[in-house]
Amino acid sequence: MITKTLESALNLQINKELFSSYLYLSMAYWFDGIGLKGASAWLKTQSEEEREHAMKLVEHLADRGGTVEFSAIEKPKNSWKDPMDAFQEVLKHEQFITKSIHDLYAVAAQENDLPAQIMLQWFVSEQVEEERNAADIISNMTRIQNHETAVLQLDHQMGKRARS
Ligand code: OFO
């Protein structure tokens, strides 16, 4: 049985993952609007993965006999200055989520909950990849700056993203 402290910490993280999904979906349609369909497809995939993250936590909580409690999802932004501004927000958001996962892991450890710690180890590793992906895109964008052909090439490449 899961403790009430860990149960509310997990419910909070579920909300953050659902917000991530919402934010990236909003960003996907902003990219769609400016004609960068590859980046848009990349973000739609990212949005789906965030929903899967939320569901991993939901299933764990339910399997452990906890109460799943959904709360309101904050309204995401729907426009950005330019593609670089958008991906800088992705990186900043992922850094925030990494900190949140680490804090959640600390709660699971403090509550002496071994199954939750094992489940959360997947998230700890996943966050390394999440930050790396955003940082790599920013670094590619920095290199190409305003070269329109290179921007379109990068967009094409992003459209080929496979699910991880
Ligand atoms: Fe769920 O990893 Fe991004 O936010």
How far, in Å, from the CA of 147 to the mean position of ligand 1?
30
Q: Which of 11-25, 79-93, 107-121, 145-159 has the weakest average pLDDT?
A: 145-159
Whether 24 has a pLDDT exceeding 90, the answer reads: yes
pTM tops 0.85, yes or no? yes
| Closest to 63 measured CA to CA, from 107, 116, 138, 4 | 116
pLDDT value for 146: 73
Q: List residues near ligand 1 (CB under 6 A).
A: 17, 20, 50, 53, 94, 97, 130
Closest residue to atom 3 of ligand 1, CA basis: 94
Q: What is the pLDDT of residues 94-150, one digit of tens each?
A: 999 999 999 999 999 999 999 999 999 999 999 999 999 999 999 999 988 778 888
Residue 53 near residue 17, CB atoms below 8 Å = yes
pLDDT value for 161: 86
pLDDT value for 1: 87
Q: What is the mean pLDDT of residues 51-73?
A: 98
Token pair 């593609």 is found at 83
Question: Could you tell me the domains of the chain?
Answer: 4-73+80-158 (1.20.1260.10)
The helices-and-strands tally (H runs, E runs) of the chain is: 5, 0
Q: Is 43 left (phi over 0), alpha (psi -120 to 50) or beta?
A: alpha
Question: Per the structure block, which two tokens stand in for 36?
Answer: 């960068």
Q: What is the mean pLDDT of residues 69-92?
A: 97
Nearest-atom number in ligand 1 for the CA of 53 is 1
